[in-house]
Chain A
């Protein structure tokens, strides 16, 4: 099996599995006052400190959630509600056109149900949001903006946006700034403190922690309304009994991922560049999407368009060869749609449909690249034959 879909989820790190299973064996609600509760609380708070250290945040800024989607929803809706409560005129919500659906669907819901006016910030051909684009959008009417959210690194094409500059632009107008850093954490250097962001989304399972665990980093003093009401366990911003094993495993994974990042990133960049070069040698008319290899691109992501092919044909054929990758983001019914990310980058619909994301991670090796390179040419040729039936132009 050749797993080239680490951006979807990546195997849990041994350190995380160890922390997880150790905590699973212990009973204890971190909110209880007795000894078992105190033991669980200690695990949670030590984990909070470790995660904060890994992300260069203060422990009190860490709000544990059930994952990236919840963190994004808390940030978007929480910021919007809190801001509008004191400044009703602030109804504009500015987010990049290439955000994950957890952001896009949240803001579209705000538009539908809560009178928000959503403006999608255009990106350049690599998928990057430029600070002057954000500034131009804000200055049209700065006092009507409720919040800005721009993802740190794109989950499909891997392009990194200049988050510190973007946050500075928003702050110049007194506007709160959120960033979805789900793909960035553990892959590129990242400091919450230095980023200037007011809120930052992180997910455990993308960096070797368990699925169903995440956090929103929330700068002290930021006005944020809660999504869920109940016990108020996480700074009254998030209610629900804390998942002690999940928290412990998340912290262990993040600590290791951040610690190993410099060496691992270098290895992945070399592997990824090799993958791209060899796939291009096999399929010369393939097109590489996203930023060029370098600090502006996530180390493990290679995103390619194979003209004349449909992505789901490629996926099916590669799957039959034991190679697992992705077309980017799938909808709930499993129907492949052309990626909104590629469309926002100016790629036409036919080409957007014929694109694949190969994402490398901790367990990826040269053998995985070899396996892909061995079959990619015949797979593309076959997918082109099927694509010709669908009226897709080749070449």
Chain B
């Protein structure tokens, strides 16, 4: 096959491209330039968006002896990922930009262009197993990335190749060293690639400007503090609330709800964060009736027992045990063992305790 290897400049995508070459594919490497004004060198350990990362990717392609190009997707990325990220925070949701990037950039804009140019598939260094359109977790539970791929549609997955799903990260690094790839010991990337210092709150404040409002206690209804932008908060957040007074029970308080219209941040006790029911939009759900499964709502979260059922264009999910700190906008991915059954994006939820949102139930 003619395949396009997306090469971030990191170790995973370099080894994935190498394995595609070994598999006998005609591989072309592409580095996706996602930033409009790339920094020339990495400030932190993010590792995908700088000129230095493009250079690392080019060096890996040189070692593999494959053609290499840089594709400028900065405009698409700005529009489809960054602007959406800002809009979601402004609306009180908690987006996952990596999920979004996979949905809209890597397995959409890049894949579509690759197919148009005559390639058969896109190869990435994601840690997940794929056969046909069946996605499974990586054998390395610490590095498994099936969650950030879990909302991809079958027609997207049909043209994807993830060569690393059967290998642990440690083995990938060892293999990179064996292959003479200089990125073998490059630090893992983490956090959000376009927020250089990892301070999402400040990044949003710089972008959106201050929008002050009250912090209100859900239990007492009292105004317990002020903030200069509700977008800097995430549901479930505990640190950085800077509340003047302790809660009446002396227990820590968490962000329970964000109301962007009134700029109100509601805080309360941890148990009020426990979510029992989720309603998601349907990204992928090729199943009829209620399905017993396990639900995961965060990239590094645990999957909990659940029952999921599609009703209209929504997916109703009842969790067998409470999940703490779920926020609208997050992806929910449903598994049967290590197999991804489908998923969507959380629209609303219901809590065990008296929550501000009511998920409702099918038929009632």
Contacts and interface: CB of A to CB of B under 8 A. Distances in A.
A139 B69 CA distance: 46
A316 B67 contact: yes
Contacts of B38: 333
B120 to A, nearest CB: 14
Given A313-B117, A316-B28, A334 B67 contact: no
Contacts of A312: 69, 71-72
Contact of B117 (A335, A336, A337, A383): A383
Interface residues of A, number: 20
A334 B58 contact: yes
B70 interface: yes
Interface in B305-360: none
Contacts of B28: 316, 320
A316 B117 contact: yes
A24 interface: no
Contact of A333 (B33, B67, B117, B118): B33
B211 interface: no
B112 A334 contact: no
Given A333-B33, A333-B54, A319 B116 contact: no
A52 B160 CA distance: 60
A332 B33 CA distance: 12
Instruction: Tell me if B's interface is mostly helix, strand, loop or mixed.
Output: mixed
B116 A389 contact: yes
Contacts of A385: 116-117
B23 to A, nearest CB: 19
Nearest to B68: A334
B60 to A, nearest CB: 14
Interface in B41-88: 51, 54, 58, 67, 69-72, 74
A382 B118 contact: yes
Interface residues of B, number: 19
B118 to A, nearest CB: 6
Contacts of B361: none
Contacts of B118: 317, 382
Interface in B91-140: 109, 112-113, 116-118
B53 to A, nearest CB: 10
B110 to A, nearest CB: 10
B67 A336 contact: no
B51 A332 contact: yes
A37 B67 CA distance: 46
Nearest to B112: A389
A317 B117 CA distance: 8
Nearest to A315: B69
A382 B116 CA distance: 7
B226 to A, nearest CB: 41
Nearest to B51: A333
Interface string A218-230: 0000000000000
Interface in A290-336: 312-313, 315-317, 319-320, 332-336
B56 to A, nearest CB: 12
B197 to A, nearest CB: 21
Contacts of B58: 334
A316 B113 CA distance: 12
A335 B33 CA distance: 7
A124 to B, nearest CB: 29
Contacts of A317: 117-118
A120 interface: no
Contacts of A383: 117
A336 B113 CA distance: 16
Contacts of A8: none
A29 to B, nearest CB: 35
A390 B117 contact: no
A309 to B, nearest CB: 11
A320 B66 CA distance: 11
Nearest to B26: A320
Nearest to A383: B117
Contacts of B54: 333-334
Best-surrounded residue of B69, B113, B117 (most CB of chain A within 10 A): B117
A334 B30 CA distance: 11
Contacts of A335: 33, 70, 72, 74
B61 to A, nearest CB: 11
Contacts of A382: 116-118
Interface string A354-395: 000000000000000000000000000011011011100000
24 contacts: A312-B71, A313-B113, A315-B69, A316-B69, A317-B117, A319-B67, A320-B67, A333-B33, A334-B58, A334-B70, A335-B70, A335-B72, A336-B70, A337-B72, A382-B116, A382-B117, A382-B118, A385-B116, A386-B113, A388-B116, A389-B109, A389-B112, A389-B113, A390-B113
List 9 A-B pairs, minimum CB-CB distance, nearest first.
A386-B116, A334-B70, A385-B116, A335-B72, A335-B33, A333-B51, A386-B113, A386-B117, A389-B112
Given A334-B58, A335-B33, A389-B113, 17 more contacts: A312-B71, A312-B72, A313-B113, A320-B67, A333-B38, A333-B51, A334-B33, A334-B69, A336-B72, A337-B72, A382-B116, A383-B117, A385-B116, A386-B113, A386-B116, A386-B117, A390-B113
